[in-house]
Amino acid sequence: MKSKKSIIQSAVSTLELEAAAILNVAKNINSDFEKVVSSILHGKGRVIVTGIGKSAIIAQKMVATFNSTGTPAIFMHAADAIHGDLGMIQVDDIVICLSKSGNTPEIKVLTPLLKTSGNLLIGMVGEMNSFLAEQADLILNTSFEKEACPHNLAPTTSTTAQLALGDALAICLLECRDFNESDFAKYHPGGSLGKKLYLKARDLALSNEKPAIHPSASVKDVLIEISKNRLGAVVVVDDDDKVLGIITDGDIRRMLENNNSIANLKAEDIMGRTPKSIQFDALAVDALDIIKQNNITQLLVLEQNTYFGIIHLHDLLNEGIV
């Protein structure tokens, strides 16, 4: 059993080796990388990413990243390719083949077939004197010194280099396409990430009641309205639905503490006159920022200058945005 010190040293050593490999990949970025980006940007087809073993797993991750950032891509396992899956490759598709050595049997069989079809073949390879490197039209160099595995066998450093270079390629394509947050939201509609990018303040406000009361309303009417809508607040509006103020549970407590008699008090006497608000077409995540910054639980939603609705902190919690 390793000591605690040696366990930590092993982890640090692994990370240092893999970090060095990424830096080495960065040094090897050259004109071929630029040509790969340009070819994909101006290509009419998709990007087919293939590999065998651990490289196939990295290829799948590359495909997922490409598709989520605006570059249509398909994964093709190198072993399955030579047993029928080559049929998925169309005339205008570009093929990226990942391989640590560039000399595995499957790659040696697959590469000539890809060359025959006339598709642009990009080799992401760690050995520059390999079969794949010699046959590829363009090369993405993932050379590295050694695997993090003490026996220099288990793909670790090599796959880290592939993963990092794949990310660099995807981000370059993203930036060249001017792929923005709105575009990102189209491909990520589910989960909290998608909601942060597309859910609007109005969407949350519409799911709530719209508590409102006239400034001349009695304290009793205020209490009834707050209790009825279960949002912990009521908005004070004029006849044109313009916001005059807000009354929260906290305002009610302060009213009781500061007044011996509340019989003659009106809504306008106890309301807060500078309520925080957000426009109805703003993102819900921006509403969360306002709530956090001001340490409040309710936020008014306005359409221009008129009262649209109200958001409670619980609405944001329920949507998983917090």
Say which residues have a Cβ less than 8 Å from residue 257's Cβ, sequence separation at least 6: none
Residue 193: predicted pLDDT? 67
Chain centre distance of CA 1:
40
Residue 184: predicted pLDDT? 73
pLDDT per residue as tens digits for the range 272-293: 999 999 999 999 989 999 999 9
CATH architecture of 4-179: 3-Layer(aba) Sandwich (3.40)
Residue 203: predicted pLDDT? 93
Residues of the chain with CATH 3.10.580.10: 197-319
Q: What is the 8-class DSSP label of residue 239? A: T
Residue 260: predicted pLDDT? 82
Residue 310: predicted pLDDT? 96
Q: C-alpha dihedral over 228, 234, 240, 242, to 10 degrees?
A: -160
pLDDT per residue as tens digits for the range 42-96: 999 999 999 999 999 999 999 999 998 999 999 999 999 988 899 999 999 999 9
pLDDT per residue as tens digits for the range 178-220: 987 777 767 766 666 667 778 899 999 999 999 999 999 999 9
Residue 189: predicted pLDDT? 64
> If you average pLDDT over residues 128-132, what whole number do you get?
96
Query: 214: which 2 tokens?
Result: 């006239």
Residue 313: predicted pLDDT? 93
Sheet arrangement for strand 277-279: 277-279, 298-303, 306-312
> If you average pLDDT over residues 137-145, what whole number do you get?
95
* Percent with pLDDT over 70 in the chain: 96
- Nearest by Cα to 290 from 309, 308, 311, 272: 311
- Give the chain's mean pLDDT: 92
Residue 321: predicted pLDDT? 80
What's the pTM?
0.70
Residue 32: predicted pLDDT? 97
Residue 99: predicted pLDDT? 96
Residue 190: predicted pLDDT? 64
pLDDT per residue as tens digits for the range 233-249: 999 999 999 999 999 99
Question: Would you say 77 is a known binding-site residue?
Answer: yes
> If you average pLDDT over residues 304-315, what whole number do you get?
93
* Percent with pLDDT over 90 in the chain: 76
The Cα–Cα gap between 322 and 311 comes to 13
Residues of the chain with CATH 3.40.50.10490: 4-179
CATH superfamily label, 197-319: CBS-domain (3.10.580.10)
